[in-house]
């Protein structure tokens, strides 16, 4: 079996000085606690805005809906893509003007559309006949964009199948929109979250162009394409950088649209917030299931129900650091609840120094997105994941 000293490349995930600050900040807070470094979110936003200067950013609120995060992004000029009346209430409570909001969920009740319209939201996504009719009824005269189905190939967290429709379906919806008094405004897609294959945007942009041309023949001039989310965060599996994504995607758009470039919207979630989070967790227990089992089980105080649901099928591989020295051993990692699906990683083997004992801490990096908002309210009595912003 594999034997060498434990090594973890911290610098790949965090500035070591900042890490020391986070450790001392978390020291007196009960574990587990998610520490969000808002400085990272600010630099991620600025990097993205600089890489795509002609695009409008609509932050996907679901990734990390903490008030501090929303307020920070609002102050930097972001717009917001929201998916429910509850997210809308939060935006309004924080004083964000409805003209900076889009209702990007294609699954919505008629009463919810009416609520959004009444509050002043004038930009909606759709992908189906019933939804379009509801929009015409409850949000008359508003701008609509149509979501294309993508396969999610190449993404660590695919959003395929459930959203969007084939261009043939959208073509008819677009023509019908004009008759219903809505404004057909653009096409959207989402290539899948943590999309590691930039080429997926190439296919999707080409489909947008196809639809643009098809409806132009019927006299409808679309104005916008929404290139979705899918931009990467820094997990165990490497990716290209966000500026590299931006450059490639702009090239795809220029190839297809030439001088007739549409308005470009994007809806980043993960890439803006994931890298800002350090989840400070405690080792609850260690055990070996039989005398000659190769792998030790390591139980943390956070698991699938406490915020790490994206470990389903080991899809997202969070970097996990044990702050001790010693020989490395391969382990199986699990959460604290009484549900046998609460196992984090069994096939992909994480390393831990042999010297770790219950009570030691484990630092889980890149946990600023899709963690706290996903944590369950009361399973086994465990409260939702506590999150604190480090602001200085």
195: buried, middle or exposed (CB in 10 Å: 19+, 13-18, 0-12)? buried
The Cβ of residue 332 has, within 10 Å, a number of other Cβ atoms equal to 20
The answer to whether residues 132 and 112 touch, using CB atoms and an 8 Å cutoff, is: no
Check residue 190 for interaction with ligand PLP (CB under 6 A).
Answer: yes
Q: Give 307-335 as a DSSP string.
A: T-GGGGGG-S---EEE---SBEEEEEEE-
Contact status, residue 242 vs residue 231, Cβ threshold 8 Å: yes
Among 65, 164, 230, 368, binds ligand PLP (CB under 6 A): 230
Comparison of 150 and 193: residue with beta carbon closer to ligand PLP: 193
Q: How far is the CB of 270 from ligand PLP (least distance, A)?
A: 3
Phi, psi angles (nearest 5°) of residue 372: -60, -45
316 touches ligand PLP (CB under 6 A): no
CB of 215 to ligand PLP, least distance (A): 22
Q: Please answer whether residues 58 and 231 qualify as being in contact, where contact means their C-beta atoms are separated by less than 8 angstroms.
A: no
Q: Does 267 bind ligand PLP (CB under 6 A)?
A: yes
Q: Does 62 bind ligand PLP (CB under 6 A)?
A: yes
Under the binding rule (CB under 6 A), the answer on residue 63 touching ligand PLP is yes
320 binds ligand PLP (CB under 6 A): no
Beta strands 79-82 and 193-195: pairing type?
Answer: unpaired
| Burial class, 279, CB count within 10 angstroms (exposed 0-12 / middle 13-18 / buried 19+) | buried
Part in contact with ligand PLP (CB under 6 A); list of ranges 4-12, 87-95, 269-277, 332-340: 269-277
**Burial classification of residue 14, based on how many CB atoms lie within 10 Å of its CB (0-12 exposed, 13-18 middle, 19 or more buried):** buried
The DSSP result for 190-252, as a single string, is ---EEE--THHHHHHHHHHHHHHHHHHTTT----EEE--S------SS----HHHHHHHHHHH
184/145 Cα distance (integer angstroms): 6
> Is residue 231 a contact residue for ligand PLP (CB under 6 A)?
yes
**Interface mask toward ligand PLP for 352-381; x: CB under 6 A:** ------------------------------
Query: Which of these segments, 56-64, 207-215, 293-301, 311-319, binds ligand PLP (CB under 6 A)?
Result: 56-64
| CA–CA distance, 324 with 310 (Å, rounded to integer) | 26
Residue facing ligand PLP at closest CB distance? 229
Candidates 38-46, 227-235, 330-338, 382-390; binding stretch for ligand PLP (CB under 6 A): 227-235
| 269 interacts with ligand PLP by CB under 6 A | yes
Work out how close the CB of 197 gets to ligand PLP at its nearest, in angstroms, rounded to a whole number.
13
Binding pattern for the stretch 76-115 against ligand PLP, x by CB under 6 A and - elsewhere: -----x----------------------x-----------
Preceding amide of 32 cis, omega within 30:
yes
| 44 binds ligand PLP per the rule CB under 6 A | no
In the bound state with ligand PLP, the residue whose beta carbon lies nearer, of 165 and 300, is 165
Question: For ligand PLP, which stretch binds (CB under 6 A), given 71-79, 225-233, 257-265, 342-350?
Answer: 225-233
Question: Given the complex with ligand PLP, which of 145 and 321 has the nearer CB atom?
Answer: 145
Q: Which residues pair with 300 in a beta bridge?
A: 283
Least distance from C-beta 370 to ligand PLP, angstroms?
7
Task: Please identify, using beta-carbon distances, which residue of 271 and 337 lies nearer to ligand PLP.
Answer: 271
Closest distance to ligand PLP from the beta carbon of 63 (Å): 5
Q: How far is the CB of 103 from ligand PLP (least distance, A)?
A: 10
Using CA atoms, how far apart are residues 47 and 286, in angstroms rounded to an integer? 41
201 makes contact with ligand PLP (CB under 6 A): no
Buried b (16+ CB within 10 A) or exposed e, 54-90: ebbbbbbbbbbbbebbbebbbeeebbbbbbbbebbeb
Chosen residue from 184, 186, 229, 319 binding ligand PLP by CB under 6 A: 229
Among residues 44, 108, 207, 270, which is the contact residue for ligand PLP, using CB under 6 A? 270
Which region, judged by CB under 6 A, interacts with ligand PLP, from 3-11, 24-32, 266-274, 328-336?
Answer: 266-274
What residue ranges bind ligand PLP (CB under 6 A)?
60, 62-63, 81, 104, 190, 193, 228-231, 267-271
């Amino acid at each position: 079996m594999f034997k060498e000293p434990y090594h973890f490349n911290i610098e790949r995930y965090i500035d070591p000085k900042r890490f020391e600050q986070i450790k001392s900040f978390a020291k007196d807070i009960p574990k587990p606690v998610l520490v969000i470094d808002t400085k990272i979110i600010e630099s991620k936003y600025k990097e993205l805005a600089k890489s795509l200067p002609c695009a409008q950013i609509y932050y996907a609120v679901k990734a990390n809906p903490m008030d501090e995060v929303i307020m920070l992004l609002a102050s930097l000029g972001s717009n917001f893509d929201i998916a429910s009346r509850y997210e809308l209430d939060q935006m309004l409570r924080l004083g964000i003007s409805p003209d900076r909001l889009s209702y990007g969920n294609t699954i919505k009740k008629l009463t919810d559309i009416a609520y959004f319209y009444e509050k002043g939201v004038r930009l909606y996504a759709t992908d189906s006949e019933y939804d379009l009719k509801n929009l015409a009824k409850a949000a008359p005269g508003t701008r609509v964009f149509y979501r294309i189905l993508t396969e999610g190939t190449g993404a660590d967290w695919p959003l395929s199948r459930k959203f969007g429709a084939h261009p043939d379906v959208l073509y008819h919806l677009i023509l019908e929109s004009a008759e219903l008094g809505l404004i057909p405004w653009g096409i959207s897609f989402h290539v899948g979250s943590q999309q590691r294959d930039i080429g997926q945007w190439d296919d999707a942009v080409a489909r947008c162009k196809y639809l643009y041309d098809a409806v132009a023949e019927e006299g409808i001039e679309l104005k916008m394409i929404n290139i979705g989310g899918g931009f990467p965060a820094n997990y165990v599996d490497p990716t290209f950088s966000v500026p590299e994504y931006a450059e490639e995607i702009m090239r795809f758009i220029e190839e297809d649209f030439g001088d007739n470039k549409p308005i470009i919207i994007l809806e980043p979630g993960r890439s803006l917030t994931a890298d800002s989070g350090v989840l400070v967790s405690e080792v609850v227990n260690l055990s070996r299931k039989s005398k000659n089992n190769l792998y030790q089980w390591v139980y943390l105080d956070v698991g699938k129900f406490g915020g790490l649901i994206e470990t389903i099928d080991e899809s997202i591989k969070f970097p996990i650091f044990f702050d001790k020295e010693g020989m490395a051993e391969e382990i199986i990692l699990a959460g604290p609840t009484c549900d046998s699906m609460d196992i984090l990683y069994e096939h992909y083997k994480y390393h831990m120094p042999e010297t770790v004992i219950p009570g030691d801490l484990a630092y889980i990096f890149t946990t600023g997105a899709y963690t706290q908002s996903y944590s369950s309210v009361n399973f086994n009595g465990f409260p939702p994941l506590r999150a604190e912003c480090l602001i200085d």
